[in-house]
Amino acid sequence: MTIDRRRALALFGLGGAGAAGEAMAATPRAPFAGRVAFIHGVASGDPLDDRVVLWTRATAEATTAPIAVRWDVAADPAFKTIVRQGQATAVAARDHTVKVDVTGLKPATDYFYRFRHVKNGKPSGKGVSGRTRTLPKGPTRDVVLAVASCSLYPNGYFNAYDAIARLPRVDAVLHLGDYIYEYGAAPDDYGMASPTAKTRVPDPPRELLSLEDYRRRHALYKTDPALQAAHARAPWIVVWDDHETADNSWIGGAENHQPKTEGDWAKRKAAGIKAYYEWMPIREPAAGTLPEASWRRFQFGDVATLLMTETRLTARSHQLDYGSDLPVKDGKPDFAAFAVKLADPARRMMGQGQEQWLAREVDASMKADTAWQVLGNQVVMARVIPPDLKAAMGDAAYAALLAKLPDYVAKPVEQSRGLSLAGAPGNLDAWDGYPADRSRVYDIFKAGKARPIVLAGDSHAFWANELWDDAGTTRVAAEFGVTSVTSPGYSDYLPGAPLDQAYVARNKEVKFTDQGAKGFLLLTLEHGRATGELVAVSTILDTKYQTRVLKRFVVTPGDEGGVKALAEG
């Protein structure tokens, strides 16, 4: 696969800050001197204890000329004490986005930053500003993280992002994927049946295929005021899932990509990745590395090692499918044969290189006596069998439920019950579809006697799970699954069904789930305990909303690694 990796790294200002941009033409063009706006706000990300990435986009009507931008970092919101500053150039080859990797900062410190247009050699106007924070170094009391996932633009207002922006304290925001969605604006496209879709129409109004398409969708998202506020509040640490390219993507394609009509998958994937690096506050790939290999480490003093993984585009095997891969024997589904196929050790979520990196980082974290090893991961890791709603509701109530449902919902519900009776997993796109790879991750945790907390997005539901090894005798880790910002959950299709209770009753590893709430996870990490608060917003159909903590769970570390328990706190 050929990926356009043209980029230049220029050093500006004090402290060796770097600005990422595309290579300029051989003959430099004069900087744009017309009107420039920063309508997409600002963002910061990938914080370390001495640096952070700053981002914005300079918008000028009908120009391909470079735009000169001044950036300042200050110790105060009034910008009276400037600690770093410099100049960057927004160029058309990067969609006039700007990314600056500012170095020479102090650990565990709040900073304020701004971007202004440079016109005739001088900064012009107030520009646009935000707040960021560096990571702690050495002994640290606690860390507070907000975790989010899955924001479907037409389906509702981004109230969860607004709530994050209003938090009294947040050291960093973790986004676990599906920051954008690739669908179009046709009446039957995902999210377009929502009452909010009329005022939140996707742009472009078609499925994303080209680089320009992905750029326009990112641009649309970053005009949302709630999302802008959350980005301006704290640094973000991000990873993509599938919808940043296409639904249920894997190394060789995606469920929502048809090569005959939509072209080459490698070209589409490259377009999605390029737009992502342009529009997100993520550090640029190191020279000589593939942009897809986005796994990286963040050290929060001696409290937590955060390991962000990549499980979509570098190694993931094609997802199995019950419709095409479940054998039939004597006229009946052969789940035993399917289980053998599912357990094939050649089926991968992570490649060998990432797996070896994970083992090294977990080992180093434990040797440094770090309190927690946190896995920033896209999909649910727990073993989850679908609930048997008929058993939970009774025959009559279940029949009445099915009678009310449209066929496209009723049929999967019945199929899901069949999987429950067979003890088969329901989501083959999650770690349940790659059990051998999951076991290898657990082996890494156990070998290092780690104290892991797994974070998961993708499912549009809250989860509090205990992860056990294959033998079911050792509690390996705790898992918090974060629900969506707006994307629909199962309860949205099955109102009134006792899904949450049925999931808990059917699954040893599931201690709590809410399949309908929208919101975010607030994770507080301390020595000796980690507290996960499942924060729900009251509505996504109105910008007026309230928040409440649905549940609060406390994780305590095990004496010999793993966790003792996941308990309500």
pLDDT in tens, 279-309: 999 999 988 889 999 999 999 999 999 999 9
Any bridge partners for residue 561, and if so which?
559
Mean per-residue pLDDT for 497-524? 97
pLDDT of residue 323: 93
pLDDT of residue 20: 56
Mean per-residue pLDDT for 110-132? 94
Q: Is 260 exposed, middle or buried (0-12, 13-18, 19+ CB in 10 A)?
A: exposed
> Average pLDDT, whole number, for the chain?
93
Confidence of residue 565 (pLDDT cuts 50, 70, 90): confident
Q: Which amino acid, residue 73?
A: V
Report whether pLDDT(4) > 50.
no
Helix (H, G, I), strand (E, B) or coil at 141: coil
The better pLDDT of the pair 26, 32 is held by 32
How far apart CA 224 and CA 79 sit, in angstroms, is 26
pLDDT of residue 18: 56
Kindly state the helix (H) or strand (E) to which residue 533 belongs, with its residue range.
strand 529-537
Give one DSSP letter per residue of 13-75, joined into a string. Answer: TTTTEEEEEPPPPSSPPPPP-S--B-TT-EEEE---SS-EEEEEE-B-TT--S-EEEEEEEES
Q: Which amino acid, residue 420?
A: S
pLDDT of residue 14: 28
How far apart CA 408 and CA 414 sit, in angstroms, is 11
pLDDT of residue 287: 87
Confidence of residue 9 (pLDDT cuts 50, 70, 90): very low
pLDDT 10s digits, 151-161: 999 999 999 99
Q: Which amino acid, residue 15?
A: G
pLDDT of residue 17: 53
pLDDT of residue 554: 98
Report whether pLDDT(6) > 70.
no
Q: Helices 352-367 & 435-447, crossing angle to 10 degrees?
A: 20
pLDDT of residue 22: 38
Closest CA to 131 of 163, 165, 98, 100: 165
Report whether pLDDT(24) > 80.
no
26-30 long-range contacts (CB < 8 A, ≥24 apart) are 28/66, 29/65, 29/66, 30/65
How many CB atoms lie under 10 A from the CB of residue 366?
Answer: 18
Confidence of residue 33 (pLDDT cuts 50, 70, 90): confident
- Could you tell me the domains of the chain? 8-133+154-294 (2.60.40.380), 322-568 (3.60.21.70)
Report the percentage of the chain scoring pLDDT > 70: 95
Q: Helices 211-221 & 265-279, crossing angle to 10 degrees?
A: 30
Give one DSSP letter per residue of 431-488, joined into a string. Answer: GGG-HHHHHHHHHHHHHTT--EEEEE-SSSSEEEEEEE-TTS-SEEEEEEE---SSS-
Any bridge partners for residue 329, and if so which?
332
Mean per-residue pLDDT for 161-180? 98
Closest CA to 31 of 59, 8, 65: 65
Strands 304-308, 372-376: pairing is: parallel
Strands (E), 149-286: 172-175, 236-238, 249-250, 253-254
Sign (positive/negative) of CA torsion 402, 407, 411, 413? negative
pLDDT of residue 10: 26
- Comparing 196-205, 456-465, 553-562, the range with the smallest average pLDDT is 553-562
Mean per-residue pLDDT for 205-226? 98
Let me know: does 478 contact 442? Beta carbons within 8 Å.
no
Report whether pLDDT(63) > 90.
no
Closest CA to 184 of 270, 274, 266, 247: 247
Let me know: does 32 contact 65? Beta carbons within 8 Å.
yes
pLDDT of residue 15: 33
Question: What letter does residue 380 receive in the DSSP assignment?
Answer: -
pLDDT of residue 21: 44
Q: Which amino acid, residue 318?
A: H
Kindly state the helix (H) or strand (E) to which residue 272 belongs, with its residue range.
helix 265-279
pLDDT of residue 28: 57
Report the percentage of the chain scoring pLDDT > 90: 90
The two structure tokens encoding residue 365: 């974290």
pLDDT 10s digits, 317-350: 999 999 999 999 999 999 999 999 999 999 999 9
pLDDT of residue 19: 55
Let me know: does 134 contact 47? Beta carbons within 8 Å.
yes
Question: What residue has token string 């709530």?
Answer: 163
The two structure tokens encoding residue 55: 């981002």
Question: What letter does residue 105 receive in the DSSP assignment?
Answer: P
How far apart CA 20 and CA 102 sit, in angstroms, is 11
pLDDT 10s digits, 420-462: 999 999 999 999 999 999 999 999 999 999 999 999 999 999 9
Mean per-residue pLDDT for 484-492? 96
Measured torsion, CA atoms of residues 232, 237, 241, 245, in degrees rounded to the nearest 10: 60
User: How many residues belong to the chain?
Assistant: 569
Closest CA to 467 of 430, 495, 499, 418: 430
Confidence of residue 163 (pLDDT cuts 50, 70, 90): very high
- Comparing 2-11, 118-127, 404-413, 548-557, the range with the smallest average pLDDT is 2-11
- Comparing 45-54, 221-230, 356-365, 396-405, the range with the smallest average pLDDT is 396-405
pLDDT 10s digits, 10-22: 222 223 355 554 3
The two structure tokens encoding residue 372: 């927690």
